[in-house]
Amino acid sequence: MIIIPAIDIKDGKCVRLAQGDFDRVTTYADNPVDMALTWVQKGAELIHIVDLDGSVAGLPRNANIILDIARKIDIPIQVGGGIRDMETIEYYLSNGISSVILGTTALQNEKIVQDACETFPEKIILGIDALDGKVAIHGWTQKTEQNAVDLARRYEHYSIKAIVYTDIKRDGMGTGVNIEATMTLAKAVSIPVIASGGVATINDIEELLAIRDCEIYGVIIGRALYTGAIFLEEAIRASR
């Protein structure tokens, strides 16, 4: 299982939200590029970046910073937030980004996901953000009645690289990963699943590793790394 540090960018800074609430913001670093370099130095093999402003606006707002990170580090980057058309997908993937995450688009425009998977196989990640098992979109500001597992199954036969599954209630709260929901999704589809939301201690990583009958491909860690509740090097050792 791969450990993936998260960098969420809002107003050009590295922040974390509590439960996706834009009114509950904590700024952890003024320079996301420096933060990315720090995670690389500590052994990160992949970095998860979200353009929070873009997720609400529906188009990239911090792409200059994200591409600057891509130029300055030598590990893969997966990017989400405001990616809703082929032009943006191509822009990121042709400028050093390893894979892009489609969330809102996956729910609202299956044709774009299909075209993206055909054009860029194994470069497209499905972002499923759920509140009580129901998908939320537009930077989590809009809740839907779409079941998370049903949405994942819709894309079972596309060349999706992975699914990032985030439990919104737990995200940024340090209350632990929703093991049951993550495991349910991972068992329901053959697409590799990346757990996200609520990672608080090394125990969360150990619980994900202990899951039987399915394998969790990776886990994204945000607030716990920034507060020092988890040290990246320790998490990487535990995952191996």
Residues 1-15: pLDDT tens digits?
A: 999 999 999 999 999
The owner of tokens 């125990």 is 203
171 carries an active-site annotation: no
Q: Report residue 168's pLDDT band, with 50, 70 and 90 as the boundaries.
A: confident
Least confident of 83-87, 147-151, 153-157, 166-170: 166-170
Residues 192-229: pLDDT tens digits?
A: 999 998 899 999 999 999 998 888 999 999 999 999 99
pLDDT for 31 beyond 90? yes
**pLDDT over 90, % of the chain:** 77
Domain 2-239 has CATH 1.10.10.60: no
Q: Which of 51, 53, 129, 171 is catalytic?
A: 129
- Cross-strand partners of 196: 166, 220
204 carries an active-site annotation: no
The owner of tokens 């990672």 is 199
Closest alpha carbon to 224 in 56, 16, 14: 16
Q: What is the reported pTM? A: 0.93
Asked whether 173 and 202 are in contact (CB, 8 A), the reply is: no
